[in-house]
Structure 1
Amino acid sequence: MSIPLSSLQSIPTSYASCSIGCKDEHTLPKKLDAISAAGFHAIELSMPDLLSFASMHLRHEVGPYDYDDLCTAAKVVKAQCDAKGLKILMLQPFANFEGWAQGSKEREDAFTRLRGWIRIMEACGTDMLQVGSSDSPEEKIGSDRNRFVSDLRELADALAEHHFRVAYENWCWSTHAPHWRDVWDIVQKVDRPNIGLCLDTFQTAGGEWGDPTTESGLVDKPKEQLEVDWQKSLKDLAKTVPKDKIYLLQISDAYKLKTTLSKEPDESGTRPRGRWSHDFRPLPFEGYLPTVEMAQAVLRTGFRGWFSYEIFDNGPDGKGKDHELIPVAKKAMECQKRFLEACADS
């Protein structure tokens, strides 16, 4: 399928609130100002931002299970977004949900969180929940895909009662579903009309093509084979995933690291691609991943939905950059124009 530039002009744009701003003074209202001023249509509302805003707004510490307070704050955030013409595209990131053993405290906690997050979704006016494929240890959640499917079916059904959707994302450091093929297989088996994919240029290119633990920065296989495998993956994505099962495409690149990361998890248990994701994700064209090729594969499905920027850029050395909100947001919008031009083939 060709990708005429004219067909890309109406693609709506979003920015993940967690990925803009790095200073204490970068409050959620200031982030909203910058994202709106740059011309974005929506935000992904991140729970860490909502927690910080709730504590600031209510003038006491608000915790992740203080759902009454979080709902109060979410209504205020909705009003602020409405005033700026911003949609709240989804609430994120809902993590480590699927796979826990029946009767376990972890499973009970997962469903407690789900009920609380649904309340927050109602309060802030979004209809979509982002769920990342679990990175909990395999010894805790197992490897039986049927268990993951069953849990996500329960989640989708709970959301459907409120006319909500779930956008399931492959985190490239996930224990059981690091690739787009994995989450697409699971979504098909869940077989519910309100579950689809959150695809991500970093998660796919950084999982199948790039690798922060090798000196080359590439997956450890012969380069010719890597390219063959990568192109086949993109062609398969374009041919097999229906456009209406893609709910959004998140956009970011990655730096090639001067010092490779250890293949072992760090002291917090975070795997190398997780550490790479948290600190080394600039805008497209500032890293080295084939982000345009990934986006083209998504566009060749016929998808013309949300492009959402999720940029965690602490510089090539990971030591941080002196970000200011308005210039960062404007730079991302300028990048979007260049990115669409690069994706177009006519």
Structure 2
Amino acid sequence: MVTLRPSIMSASLGRAWLHDFDAKAHQASKHGFEGIEIFYEDLEHLAKRLTSKETPDGEDILQAARHVHETCTREKLEIIGLQPFLFYEGLVDRSQHARLIEKIHLWFRIAKELQTTIIQIPANFLPADQVTTDINVIVEDLRQLADLGLKESPPIRFVYENLCWSTVNDTWDSAWDVVKRVDRSNFGICLDTFNIAGRVWADPTSPTGKTPNADADLEASLQKMIQEVELEKVFYIQFVDAERLAVPLDETHPFHVPGQPPRMSWSRNARTFAYETDRGAYLPVEKVAKAIIDGLGYQGWVSLELFSRTMAEEGEQVPYEHAKRGMASWKKFQERVQSN
């Protein structure tokens, strides 16, 4: 029997500035989730509420982290990680790199207050003129973080994730290449069904919603993953889908944001939980997940990381609805995994 544990990201349950964190945690627990990823935005907005400050400082964020840990303990939710440590690796502006090295020390303290050992780093998606393509610089930047994390007690682990719109490392295999090159025991990868399928198989700017050779390219990509990825470096996985847009995401689309990559606009507005065909879910995310679980032999946390315009709806029912939808998706996935 494969051991998988359901988790959800705090932001998947509603926007921080609209929906109370304690209410979101309660709904996650009530609906059967065992773990939760903490989104930094939740800490920031909670700190504003707790201190009545418009711009909370580091100590305020730490106070919010303590509150979050107490809440999750009460709700019997394990905090599996803190994210996202944004716009870090490969910066052309090295002074900004130095500022982020200072910032990571605060994040180490936050992780300790949350009693988690994982910090997630999404592959940089700043504009191309702000990020180098020099793989050696990217790797050395991330190795620097990993080495700092190893000095912590307990050591901090970093999980690197390609986003399907990242500036340089937008595929799982380019992110995996970075992980191999960093070559540190505390530096691994997050494999996300949306970001994998959303890059190699899907294209929101296409009338078909797919890339030209979608099925063949995905099959080749997953076979490569099974052959190359080292299981011990997969720190956790994320399982979520997205809707096929009625019309291509071009400059006239309601989701279009000038200067924003189309896949990012799509991600921010139109993710769904897996199997929500009534909401337009269409990615082959089950196939991706099974390649990770059956092909690689993955066991552990499966996080349902949702971004969607539905999270910005107002009302106390929003966390309830998202938790309910997420658990329905998870239960169906469990059934599908066990039946095959």
Partner in structure 2 of residue 4 of structure 1: none
Match of 2:320 among 308, 326, 344: 326
Report the CA distance between 1:55 and its aligned residue. Answer: 1.0
Aligned length: 330
Report the CA distance between 1:22 and its aligned residue. Answer: 4.2
Query: Matched residues in 1 for 2:248 and 2:99: separation?
Result: 36
Deviation by residue 1:111-161 (Cα, 9 ceiling, x = unmatched): 122122112111211100000000112222211111110000001111111
The answer (yes or no) to whether the contact 2:17–2:45 under 8 Å persists in 1 is no
The TM-score normalised by the length of structure 1 is: 0.90
Other structure's SS at 1:311 match: coil
Query: Matched residues in 2 for 1:324 and 1:267: separation?
Result: 25
Match of 2:197 among 180, 202, 205: 205
User: Which portions of structure 1, spanning 4 or more consecutive aligned residues, are displaced by more than 6 angstroms?
Assistant: none
The TM-score normalised by the length of structure 2 is: 0.91
Match of 1:295 among 289, 294, 311: 289
Partner in structure 2 of residue 45 of structure 1: 38
* Unaligned residue ranges in structure 1 (runs of 5+): 1-6
Report the CA distance between 1:314 and its aligned residue. Answer: 2.7
Q: Structure 1 vs Structure 2: percent identity of aligned residues? A: 32
* Unaligned residue ranges in structure 2 (runs of 5+): none
What does residue range 215-230 of structure 1 map to in structure 2 within 5 Å? 215-219=207-211, 221=212, 225-230=213-218
Other structure's SS at 2:80 match: strand
What does residue range 68-107 of structure 1 map to in structure 2 within 5 Å? 68-101=59-92, 104-107=94-97
Q: Please tell me whether residue 311 in structure 1 is matched to residue 311 in structure 2.
A: no
Query: Matched residues in 2 for 1:280 and 1:343: separation?
Result: 25
Match of 1:194 among 186, 198, 210: 186
Query: Matched residues in 2 for 1:155 and 1:23: separation?
Result: 28
Report the CA distance between 1:11 and its aligned residue. Answer: 1.0
The answer (yes or no) to whether the contact 2:119–2:159 under 8 Å persists in 1 is yes
The answer (yes or no) to whether the contact 1:67–1:119 under 8 Å persists in 2 is no
Q: Which amino acid aligns with 1:72?
A: Q
Deviation by residue 1:66-118 (Cα, 9 ceiling, x = unmatched): 2111011111211111111111110001111001247x332122212212211
CA separation of 1:296/1:34 partners in 2, compared to 1, >3 Å: closer, same or farther?
A: same
Partner in structure 1 of residue 175 of structure 2: 183
The answer (yes or no) to whether the contact 1:37–1:326 under 8 Å persists in 2 is no
Q: Does 75-84 or 306-315 show the bigger shift?
A: 306-315
Query: Matched residues in 1 for 2:80 and 2:266: separation?
Result: 25
CA separation of 1:259/1:75 partners in 2, compared to 1, >3 Å: closer, same or farther?
A: same
Q: Which amino acid aligns with 1:147?
A: V
Query: Matched residues in 1 for 2:314 and 2:219: separation?
Result: 34
CA separation of 1:118/1:21 partners in 2, compared to 1, >3 Å: closer, same or farther?
A: same
Deviation by residue 1:208-261 (Cα, 9 ceiling, x = unmatched): 100111111001x2xxx4322210111111222122111111111111111221
Partner in structure 2 of residue 17 of structure 1: 10
Other structure's SS at 2:84 match: strand
Match of 2:156 among 156, 164, 182: 164
Query: Matched residues in 2 for 1:269 and 1:124: separation?
Result: 35
Other structure's SS at 1:15 match: strand
User: Once superposed, what is the RMSD of the aligned Cα atoms?
Assistant: 2.2
Other structure's SS at 1:239 match: helix
